[in-house]
């Protein structure tokens, strides 16, 4: 009797309460003999879809340059001009050094074949090479010191020759400082472009609300291209600078040899003139 009363009570309650299902199964509890239906698992919110048209398709160096940020583009253009300046200086200074070395060697052969300073002056007085300037300066000083004692003549000529050597060294070294500047600063300029490009890529991540690598990979590639251009500009600049420094040192040594040859001729002439001066004094 108690069981029949409870069944009737449940029937009346469920018939008047719509929250329970009509088949008598309690919500969330399967009816007797009825298999439990699987509950769908909770899925994380899907990331925003990326439209393929929004991603750059041309990942060549030129394509990455075109899609780069304006700051990164400016860095790349500056590094390209620096690389162009490097090769221009190399070609110009190589041709200049070759021509000047040829002129100095010709002057050295002329000095070696002369026994007096007057002979060397007769052959080089119209020249503009450093060797001709050395000979002209020595002859000019000898003429100015004709009526003076010969003790300080060599000293004054040495001073003149040293100044000519220094001037020739400064002229031949002009322009090589640009290579040193490019070689030391180009990697850091490229690194600045890389840092800026990566920072812009991370800003793009926050704007797109996605962590998909396809969104940030092109921007990072463009940023790394700036570093690559920095190395392309810096490495040849350093190598060419070292080559030009060695060539310039060789050129200076040739001028030093020419100066020594001129001083040898001056010393001979002064030694020849000493007996004549002594006889004239007697």
Mean predicted confidence (pLDDT) in 86-96 = 94
Three-state DSSP at 20 gives coil
Can you give the pLDDT at residue 127? 82
Residue 61: pLDDT over 70: no
- Indicate the angle between helix axes 70-112 and 176-208, nearest 10 degrees: 170
- Determine the Cα–Cα distance for residues 234 and 187; give it in Å rounded to an integer: 6
- Determine the Cα–Cα distance for residues 134 and 140; give it in Å rounded to an integer: 10
Confidence of residue 245 (pLDDT cuts 50, 70, 90): very high
Can you give the pLDDT at residue 124? 87
Can you give the pLDDT at residue 180? 92
Can you give the pLDDT at residue 202? 79
Whole-structure pTM value: 0.69
CA nearest to 136, candidates 117, 159, 153: 117
Can you give the pLDDT at residue 282? 42
Could you please report the per-residue DSSP string of 225-242? HHHHHHHHHHHHHHHHHH
8 Å CB contact between 137 and 157? yes
Rg (CA), the chain: 45
H helix runs in the chain, sequence order = 2-16, 61-67, 70-112, 117-124, 130-144, 153-173, 176-208, 213-281
Residue 20: pLDDT over 50: no
Can you give the pLDDT at residue 151? 67
- Indicate the angle between helix axes 70-112 and 117-124, nearest 10 degrees: 130
Domain boundaries, the chain: 60-277
Can you give the pLDDT at residue 247? 92
- Determine the Cα–Cα distance for residues 216 and 66; give it in Å rounded to an integer: 16
Can you give the pLDDT at residue 56? 52
Confidence of residue 210 (pLDDT cuts 50, 70, 90): low
Confidence of residue 94 (pLDDT cuts 50, 70, 90): very high
- Both tokens assigned to 278: 């002594």
8 Å CB contact between 79 and 235? no
Residue 17: pLDDT over 90: no
Mean pLDDT for the chain overall = 77
CA 69 to chain centre: 21
- Determine the Cα–Cα distance for residues 185 and 44; give it in Å rounded to an integer: 49
Residue 218: pLDDT over 80: no
Residue 40: pLDDT over 70: no
Residue 94 burial class via C-beta count within 10 angstroms: exposed 0-12, middle 13-18, buried 19 and up: middle
Residue 22: pLDDT over 60: no
Say what percent of the chain tops pLDDT 70.
Answer: 68
Q: How many CA atoms are closer than 13 Å to the CA of 7, on its beta-carbon side?
A: 4
H helix runs in 17-69, sequence order = 61-67
Can you give the pLDDT at residue 23? 45
8 Å CB contact between 259 and 165? yes
Judged by average pLDDT, the poorest of 31-45, 120-134, 195-209 is 31-45
Confidence of residue 213 (pLDDT cuts 50, 70, 90): low
- Determine the Cα–Cα distance for residues 183 and 189; give it in Å rounded to an integer: 11
Residue 24: pLDDT over 50: no
């Amino acid at each position: 009797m108690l069981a029949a009363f409870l069944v009737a009570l449940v029937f009346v309650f469920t018939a008047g309460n719509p929250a329970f299902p009509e088949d008598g199964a309690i919500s969330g509890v399967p009816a007797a003999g009825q298999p439990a239906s699987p509950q769908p698992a909770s899925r994380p919110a899907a990331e925003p879809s990326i439209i393929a048209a929004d991603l750059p398709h041309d990942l060549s160096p030129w394509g990455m340059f075109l899609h780069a940020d304006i700051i990164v583009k400016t860095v790349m253009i500056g590094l390209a001009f620096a690389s162009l300046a490097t090769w221009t200086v190399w070609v110009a200074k190589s041709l200049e050094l070759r021509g000047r070395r040829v002129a100095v060697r010709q002057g050295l052969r002329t000095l070696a074949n002369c026994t007096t300073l007057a002979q060397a002056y007769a052959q080089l007085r119209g020249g503009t090479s450093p060797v001709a300037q050395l000979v002209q300066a020595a002859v000019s000083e000898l003429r100015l010191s004709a009526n003076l004692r010969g003790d300080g003549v060599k000293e004054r000529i040495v001073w003149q020759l040293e100044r000519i050597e220094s001037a020739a060294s400064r002229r031949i070294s002009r322009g090589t400082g640009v290579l040193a500047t490019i070689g030391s600063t180009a990697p850091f300029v490229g690194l600045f472009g890389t840092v800026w490009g990566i920072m812009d890529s991370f800003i793009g991540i926050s704007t797109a609300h996605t962590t998909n690598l396809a969104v940030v990979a092109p921007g990072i590639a463009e940023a790394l291209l700036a570093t690559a251009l920095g190395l392309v500009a810096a490495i040849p600049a350093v190598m060419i600078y070292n080559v030009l420094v060695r060539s310039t040192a060789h050129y200076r040594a040739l001028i030093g040899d020419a100066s020594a040859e001129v001083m040898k001729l001056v010393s001979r002439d002064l030694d020849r003139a000493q007996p004549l001066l002594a006889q004239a004094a007697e």
